Amino acid sequence: MEQTLSIIKPDAVAKGVIGKIIDRFESNGLRIATMKKVQLSRADAEAFYAVHKERSFFGELVDFMISGPVVIIVLEGEEAMAKNRELMGATNPKEAAAGTIRADFAQSIDANAVHGSDSLENAAIEIAFFFAQREIN
């Protein structure tokens, strides 16, 4: 069984589609191993996205991620990392395949509804960033 990290971003939380997004996960064989709703601080967002700190969009990304609460989820299942990425669709919602979370719920490349780990190695790092082992079950 793999684990991966999902974040329901401020745009999707504000739109009231937390439940609809979680239903996509559960209906497609991904189990919620843990989750919490959090208001990220600027320091949290900058540290979480540190890999992007040299990119031109870093400032906007951090501003957006602290613009409201997020829901942070550990998903578990067979090939959970790849399955979550398939369910999310492309980073830019304009390029996301029909029926994916971003095609259905996202507005723009920043307000793109969800984040998902892009490798198993990063999934382990991202999960440990937000959760202690005893919180995951």
Residue ranges that bind ligand CMP, judged by CB under 6 A: 52, 57, 61, 91, 109-110, 112, 115
Distance (Å, whole) CA 22 – CA 54: 32
Burial class (CB in 10 A: 0-12, 13-18, 19+), 37: exposed
> What single-letter amino acid sits at 102?
R
**22 or 111: whose CB is closer to ligand CMP?**
111
Instruction: Give yes or no: 115 in active site.
Output: yes
Shortest spacing between CB 113 and ligand CMP, in angstroms: 9
Shortest spacing between CB 136 and ligand CMP, in angstroms: 21
Instruction: Provide the b/e sequence for 52-73 (b: ≥16 CB within 10 Å).
Output: eeeeeebeebbebbbbebbbbb
**77 or 89: whose CB is closer to ligand CMP?**
89
Shortest spacing between CB 91 and ligand CMP, in angstroms: 5
Residue number with the smallest Cβ distance to ligand CMP: 115
Query: Which tokens belong to 28?
Result: 């497609």
Residues with a catalytic annotation lie at 115
